[in-house]
Chains A and B, each alone.
Chain A
Amino acid sequence: MGEGDSSALRQLQPGATLVNRYAIQEVIGVGGMGSVYRARDMHFPNVTKLVAVKEMINSAPDPLVRQTIVQNFEREANLLATLNHPSIPRINDYFTIGSRSYLVLDFILGKDMEAIINDTNGFLLEEQTLGWAIELCDVLDFLHKHKPDPIIFRDMKPSNVMINQKGDVILVDFGIAKTFQTGMKGTMIGTEGYSPPEQYRGEATPIADIYALGATIHHALTRRDPRIEPPFSFAERPMRRINPAVSAELEAVINTALEYDPENRFRTAAEMKQALMGVAKKTGALARIKATANSIGQIDTIKPLWSFKCEDEIRGTPTVLNGMLYVGSYDNNLYALNAADGKFKWKYPTNGGVVSRPAAYDGNVYFGSEDKRLYAVNGISGKEVWTYHAEGPVRSSPRIAEGHVFIGSDNAYMHAVNINTGRLVWRFEATDAVRSTPYVLNELVYVGCESGDFYAVDFRGALKWRFHAKRAITSSATSSDAALFIASLDGMLYALDPRNGWALWRFRLGKASISSPCVVDDIVIVGASDGFIYAVDARSAKEIWRFRTEHQVNGSPVAYKDSVYCGSVDGNLYCLEYRTGRLRWKFGTEAAITGSPFVYDDIVYVGSTDHRMYALLA
C-alpha cells in the first residue's frame, strides 16, 4: 500500500490514446479491478464512433494470481466474441499493455438500472419494469440455449443491466459468465443477495439466473437492496406490502422466480417470459385500483377519556404523580388537574410561558418559566415553596437527583439548586443557552447547549469531558446500558461512550432534530424535523424502521409496553408498534403537538397547541 501502488492504479486521463486508436474521453465507471472509459475510435476519423473501453489492472504481486487474472480476462473476451444478440454488447477488440488489459465494446448511451432505481423518487412503474423483465428473459433464454453448452450469466443484478436511450436493456459484465463448472469450495460466485441458494454451493444453472432476475425485479419495484438483507429473505419482504402499486399478478410471477427450491421456479427463461407477458395483458390496460391501508377505518375513531382547555398553547410535556397531572401552558400558568377525570385542581401563575416539563418529587412540583425563574410548588395545595432566579428564560426541564435540581437556562449556565432550600449550589458555564434537559447517570450530569457542545459534569460541577456536534444540541440525552444517545440540529443522532465522550456511531437523520430519543430493547427511537420518526439499532446504528408523519416531529417519543407514542406538528399523536413502526392508531388534535406525551397506568396524556390537554386510553 505504498505510494507506488497508487500510481500504478491511476486512471487514464482524458486525451490519452491507447494503441494509437482509442482516444480516452471520460471515466464512465469504476470497478474493483479498473475503470471503464468512454473513448473515440480514431480508425473512423470522419465520424464520431464511440466505444466503451473496459480496463483490468493486474496489480497482483503473486505470479500465480496474475496468470489466473489473464485467463479470466481472455475467457470473457472470447465468450463475448461468439455471442450475437441485441441485448449483449458487441466486442470490437481486446489487447494488453503491460499490467493492463482492455476490452473494447460498443458504447451504450444510457444508464444502469441501479442508478435508475436510486435516481427515481418513489418506485419505478410496473409497466416499465415489466417491459425490461421481458427483455431480460429473452436474453437469458438466448444465453441458456447457447450451443454446445448453455451459458450461465451468473451475475444478474440491476447494476449489470443497462437501459439504453431507446429504453431497451443491455446486459453488461460477462466477467464471470461461463458454461457451467463445479464451483470451487469455499468461494462464492455471483453477487450476494441476488444469487439463489444453490449458486452458493457452486451449482450455477439456468434456473439460478431466473432467481437472480426475480431478485433484480424485486429490488427495482421495492427499492430494498437485497445485498444488505440476509440472503434468501425475499419472502420476508413481500413486494406488495412495500409497494402496494405492484399488481398481484406480477408479485405471483416474481415469487415463483424466487422460490427457494429450484424445482418450484420457472423451468426456463422462456416460460418466465410467457408468465410476464400474461401479466402485461391482464394489467396493462387497467387503471390501478388505489390500495388503501386496511386498518384505516378504526384508526381515527379514538376518543379521549377527557380533555381540558387552557387559555393558551400547551407546548410542553405533562407529568403525573399521585393521581395529579401537572402541565405548563403558554398562558404563564402551571396547571394541576385530576389525572383520572381532568378536573381542575389549581393553577400557579408565573410571569412567562411554561414550556418545559415539570418534575414531581416528594410532594413538590418543580418547573421553570420563561420569566427566568425556577419554581418549587406544593403538589397538593399549589403553594409556593421557593423560587430561584436563573438569570435567563428557562426552557430546559428540571432533573432531580441526589438532593439537587439540575436545570439549564438561556443565560448559558446549567444550575445545580438545593432541592430543599432553593439555593444555588454551583453552576456550570456552557458556551451558549442551555435548553436541553440535564440527564443523570452514574454520578455524572449530561447536558447539551445551543452552540453544539455537550458536557459531562460531575456532582461538584467539574467538567469531565466535552463533545462537540456541528450544531445545537437542544435534545436531551438518554442511555442504554453502554451508550448515551443525543440528537442534534446538525441532523445526526449520536451514540457516545458515557465515560469519556468518544463517539461510537452517528446516524444521519433526514433533517435537524430537537427531539429527545427514547430507548427500548436496544432500539433508539427519535423524531426529526423532516417529519419522520426513526428507529435505530442501539448497537449497530442500522435503521430498523421509519414512520412518516405529515409535519415536523419536535416532541420526544415515549415507549410504553409494546408501543411508542409520539406527537407531530401535523397535530396528531401517533401510536406505533415499536418493533415494526406499524401504525396502531392516531389521534388528531386541532393544532401542532410540540411536546411529548406522558404514559402512566395505561393512559396517555398529551398537550397540544390547540390549548388542550388530552387523556387517551393507551
Chain B
Amino acid sequence: MMKFFDKLFGKKEKTIPRSQDMANTAPLTEEQIQAIVSGQSPHFDMQQLVAGCGQSVGKQRELNEDSIMALTATIAGNSGNLPFGLYLVADGMGGHQFGEIASNAAIRSVSDYIMKRFHPYLFHLKTEMMEEPFQEIMLGAVREAHKVIQREAPGSGTTLTAALVIGQQVTIAHVGDSRAYFVYPDGRLDPITRDHSLVKRLEELGHLAPEEAQSYPHRNVLYRALGQGDFLEPDIFTVAFPQPGYLMICSDGLWGVVAETDIQRSVVEAPTLQRACQNLVTAANVAGGPDNISVVLAQLIG
C-alpha cells in the first residue's frame, strides 16, 4: 500500500496534509484502488509523446553554459497520427572559451535547420513523403551548427546530443560527452550514446580502469566537440523508442554526479516527467552540484 502511495505522490514528496473532515478515513476497498489505478494510467486512442525538462546552474558555477530544448507535436496525415519530438541538450565547454555562446548557437542552429525541414509536414497537410532520410537531416543540422559556432565564437566548443522522434523511431545525433539513455521500468538504464571524451577512450583502450577514470584529472577533455576542428563526424543512428520506457538526455552535470540507480529510480517513481526532471536536478545539487545540470525526459504512451 505504501508503495502505491509512493508511486502516486513521488517518494521524496511529503504527503500533503488533508483537511480535518477527511482525516477519518477507512482503508480503500479493492474497487476504489482499481478505480484510482486505472485513472493513473489513462489509455489514449493514439500514441502520445510527452516530455519534461529541468535545468540548474548547479552549486559551484556562476554561469550556465548548458542549453536545452524540448519540442513535442503530432503530425496528422495520411499515415496516421505521428508523434513528433525534438529534444536537444548542449553543454558548452570551458568558462573563458565562450561555451555559453557555443551551446546557444548549437540549439538555435540545429532546431532551425530541422524545423525548416519538417515545417511543411507539421503545419500543412503534405501528402508527399519526405525524400530526405532522417539521418541526413540530422547530419546536415549538426554540420550547419558546427559552421555557425566557428563563425560566432571561434575556438569555443560544445557537446550536442539531439534526439528526433518520429513515430516510434528515435534518430540520435551525438557529439561530446552529454548522454542519451533508455530508462526501463524494470531497472535498466542503458546509455545509447558513446562519450567522445579522452577518459572514455582511454578506458576503451584499457589504459584506464573504470575506477581510475572516476578520478582522472583530464575528465573534461573531449576529443570531438561541435565547433572544434574543421572536420566533424557526429555519431548518428536510429533506434526504436523503448516501450515501455523513457528516453533521457542529460549533461555530465547529472550523469557524472548522481548514481545510475538513483537516476533510474527518480525517473520511474515520479508521478510525472516534469517532477522526475525536478527530482533529478535536485539530486545532482544535493550531491554538490559541481557543474551545470540539464535533463530532458520523453515517453511514448499508448
Residues of B within 8 A of A238 (CB): none
Please determine whether A191 and B229 come into contact, CB atoms closer than 8 angstroms: yes
- 1/0 per position for B69-82, CB-CB distance to A under 8 A? 00000000011101
Is B168 an interface residue when CB atoms closer than 8 A count as contact?
A: yes
Of B8-16, B38-46, B199-207, the one touching chain A: B199-207
- 1/0 per position for A489-530, CB-CB distance to B under 8 A? 000001101011111111000000000000000000000000
User: Which residues of chain B from 87 to 127 have any CB-CB distance to chain A below 8 Å in the complex?
Assistant: 93-94, 96-99, 101, 108-109, 112
Residues of B within 8 A of A539 (CB): 237-239
Is B166 an interface residue when CB atoms closer than 8 A count as contact?
A: yes
Please determine whether B166 and A188 come into contact, CB atoms closer than 8 angstroms: no
Please determine whether B169 and A504 come into contact, CB atoms closer than 8 angstroms: yes
Please determine whether B150 and A503 come into contact, CB atoms closer than 8 angstroms: no
Contact of A33 among B98, B133, B151 (CB under 8 A): B151
Please determine whether B94 and A65 come into contact, CB atoms closer than 8 angstroms: no
Instruction: Tell me the smallest distance from the CB of A147 to a CB of chain B, in Å.
Output: 28
Is B211 an interface residue when CB atoms closer than 8 A count as contact?
A: no
- 1/0 per position for B184-220, CB-CB distance to A under 8 A? 0000000000000010011011010000000000101
- Give CA–CA (A472, B109) in the complex, Å: 37
Please determine whether A186 and B94 come into contact, CB atoms closer than 8 angstroms: yes
Residues of B within 8 A of A72 (CB): 155
Of A163-171, A224-232, A558-566, the one touching chain B: A224-232
Residues of B within 8 A of A33 (CB): 150-151, 154
- 1/0 per position for A389-430, CB-CB distance to B under 8 A? 000000000000000000000000000000000000000000
Is A308 an interface residue when CB atoms closer than 8 A count as contact?
A: no
Residues of B within 8 A of A481 (CB): 240
Return the chain B residue nearest A261 by Cβ.
Answer: B207
Instruction: Tell me the smallest distance from the CB of B122 to a CB of chain A, in Å.
Output: 14
Is B136 an interface residue when CB atoms closer than 8 A count as contact?
A: yes
Is B262 an interface residue when CB atoms closer than 8 A count as contact?
A: no
Contact of B238 among A61, A65, A483, A499 (CB under 8 A): A483
Is B297 an interface residue when CB atoms closer than 8 A count as contact?
A: no
Given the known A-B contacts A33-B150, A64-B98, are A200 and B224 also in contact in the complex, defined by CB atoms under 8 Å?
no
Return the chain A residue nearest B238 by Cβ.
Answer: A504
Please determine whether B108 and A501 come into contact, CB atoms closer than 8 angstroms: no
Contact of B202 among A186, A197, A482, A501 (CB under 8 A): A197
Please determine whether B201 and A185 come into contact, CB atoms closer than 8 angstroms: no
Is A7 an interface residue when CB atoms closer than 8 A count as contact?
A: no
Contact of B221 among A186, A495, A500, A503 (CB under 8 A): A186
Instruction: Tell me the smallest distance from the CB of B222 to a CB of chain A, in Å.
Output: 6
Please determine whether B151 and A188 come into contact, CB atoms closer than 8 angstroms: no
Is B296 an interface residue when CB atoms closer than 8 A count as contact?
A: no
Number of A interface residues in the complex (CB < 8 A): 57
Of A18-26, A279-287, A461-469, the one touching chain B: A461-469
User: Which residues of chain A from 126 to 170 have any CB-CB distance to chain B below 8 Å in the complex?
Assistant: 159
- Give CA–CA (A227, B234) in the complex, Å: 11
Is A62 an interface residue when CB atoms closer than 8 A count as contact?
A: yes
Return the chain A residue nearest B168 by Cβ.
Answer: A499
Is A289 an interface residue when CB atoms closer than 8 A count as contact?
A: no
Is A201 an interface residue when CB atoms closer than 8 A count as contact?
A: yes
- Give CA–CA (A466, B130) in the complex, Å: 11
Residues of A within 8 A of B135 (CB): 504-505, 540-541
Is A98 an interface residue when CB atoms closer than 8 A count as contact?
A: no
Please determine whether B229 and A188 come into contact, CB atoms closer than 8 angstroms: yes
Please determine whether B151 and A60 come into contact, CB atoms closer than 8 angstroms: yes
Return the chain B residue nearest A159 by Cβ.
Answer: B230
Return the chain B residue nearest A235 by Cβ.
Answer: B205
- Give CA–CA (A55, B91) in the complex, Å: 30
Contact of B204 among A187, A228, A230, A465 (CB under 8 A): A230
Instruction: Tell me the smallest distance from the CB of A424 to a CB of chain B, in Å.
Output: 27
Return the chain B residue nearest A499 by Cβ.
Answer: B167
Instruction: Tell me the smallest distance from the CB of A543 to a CB of chain B, in Å.
Output: 13
- Give CA–CA (A248, B108) in the complex, Å: 51
Please determine whether A506 and B133 come into contact, CB atoms closer than 8 angstroms: yes
- Give CA–CA (A134, B104) in the complex, Å: 45
Given the known A-B contacts A62-B98, A504-B133, A539-B237, are A32 and B147 also in contact in the complex, defined by CB atoms under 8 Å?
yes
Is A69 an interface residue when CB atoms closer than 8 A count as contact?
A: yes
Is A27 an interface residue when CB atoms closer than 8 A count as contact?
A: no
Instruction: Tell me the smallest distance from the CB of A165 to a CB of chain B, in Å.
Output: 25
Residues of B within 8 A of A68 (CB): 154-155
- 1/0 per position for A179-206, CB-CB distance to B under 8 A? 0000011111001100001001110000
Residues of B within 8 A of A500 (CB): 79-80, 82, 167
Instruction: Tell me the smallest distance from the CB of B235 to a CB of chain A, in Å.
Output: 7
Please determine whether A201 and B132 come into contact, CB atoms closer than 8 angstroms: no
Is B231 an interface residue when CB atoms closer than 8 A count as contact?
A: yes
Given the known A-B contacts A32-B230, A231-B223, are A9 and B151 also in contact in the complex, defined by CB atoms under 8 Å?
yes
Please determine whether B221 and A468 come into contact, CB atoms closer than 8 angstroms: no
Please determine whether B134 and A505 come into contact, CB atoms closer than 8 angstroms: yes
Is A323 an interface residue when CB atoms closer than 8 A count as contact?
A: no
Return the chain B residue nearest A201 by Cβ.
Answer: B218
Residues of A within 8 A of B257 (CB): none
Please determine whether A186 and B97 come into contact, CB atoms closer than 8 angstroms: yes
Return the chain B residue nearest A236 by Cβ.
Answer: B205
Residues of A within 8 A of B205 (CB): 232, 260
Return the chain B residue nearest A61 by Cβ.
Answer: B152
Return the chain B residue nearest A465 by Cβ.
Answer: B79
Is B157 an interface residue when CB atoms closer than 8 A count as contact?
A: yes
Instruction: Tell me the smallest distance from the CB of B97 to a CB of chain A, in Å.
Output: 6
Please determine whether B198 and A502 come into contact, CB atoms closer than 8 angstroms: no
Residues of A within 8 A of B134 (CB): 502-505
Residues of A within 8 A of B237 (CB): 537, 539-540
Contact of B157 among A188, A191, A483 (CB under 8 A): A188
Contact of B201 among A60, A202, A232 (CB under 8 A): A232
- Give CA–CA (A540, B136) in the complex, Å: 11
- Give CA–CA (A65, B91) in the complex, Å: 18
- Give CA–CA (A159, B230) in the complex, Å: 10
- 19 more A-B residue pairs beyond the given contacts A32-B150, A192-B223, A202-B221, with a C-beta to C-beta distance below 8 A: A60-B101, A62-B101, A72-B155, A184-B94, A188-B223, A191-B231, A227-B233, A231-B201, A231-B223, A232-B201, A465-B129, A483-B169, A483-B238, A495-B133, A499-B168, A501-B79, A502-B130, A539-B239, A541-B135
User: 5 A-B residue contacts at CB 8 Å?
Assistant: A33-B150, A186-B94, A192-B231, A500-B79, A539-B237
User: Top 5 nearest A-B pairs by Cβ distance?
Assistant: A186-B94, A503-B133, A32-B150, A500-B79, A540-B237
Chain A residues near B (Cβ < 8 Å): 1, 5, 9, 31-33, 57, 59-62, 64-65, 68-69, 72, 159, 184-188, 191-192, 197, 200-202, 227-228, 230-232, 260, 464-468, 481-483, 494-495, 497, 499-506, 537, 539-541
